[in-house]
Amino acid sequence: MNPIKHVAIIMDGNGRWGIKKKKSRNYGHKAGLKTVEKIIKISLKKKIPYLTLFAFSTENWKRPQEEINFLLKLLENFLKNKLEDLVKQNIKLKIIGNRSKFPNNIKKIINYSEEKTKNSNRLQINLALNYGSKSEIVDTIKKLIKNKKNITQKVISHNLYTSNMPDPDILIRTGNTKRLSNFLLWQLAYSEIFFEKKLWPDFNENDYSLILNKFKNIKRNFGKI
H or E segment and range at residue 93:
strand 91-96
Q: Are strands 192-195 and 50-57 parallel, antiparallel or unpaired?
A: unpaired
The reply to whether 12 belongs to the active site is yes
The footprint of ligand FPP (CB under 6 A) covers 11-16, 29, 32-33, 36, 55, 60, 71, 74-75, 78, 127, 175, 200
Compare residues 15 and 97 and give the one whose CB is closer to ligand FPP. Answer: 15
* CB closer to ligand FPP, 113 vs 162: 113
Nearer to ligand FPP, 156 or 202 (CB): 202
Nearest distance, CB of residue 2 and ligand FPP, angstroms: 27
The dihedral sign for the CA sequence 179, 139, 121, 112:
negative
CA distance 200 to 93: 21
State in Å, rounded, how far the first CA of the chain is from the last one. Answer: 17
Tell me which residue has its CB nearest to ligand FPP. Answer: 15
Q: How far is the CB of 36 from ligand FPP (least distance, A)?
A: 5
Query: Shortest approach of ligand FPP to residue 177 CB, angstroms?
Result: 7
Our CB check for ligand FPP shows the closer of 168 and 175 to be 175
Question: Would residue 169 show up in a list of annotated catalytic residues for this protein?
Answer: no
CA distance linking residue 138 with residue 40, whole number of Å: 31
- Taking the complex as a whole, the smallest distance from the CB of residue 10 to ligand FPP amounts, in Å, to 8
Q: What is the strand order of the sheet 123-131 is part of?
A: 91-96, 123-131, 50-57, 6-10, 170-173, 192-195
Q: With beta carbons less than 8 A apart as the criterion, state whether 79 and 115 touch.
A: no
Give the residue numbers annotated as catalytic, written as ranges: 12, 60
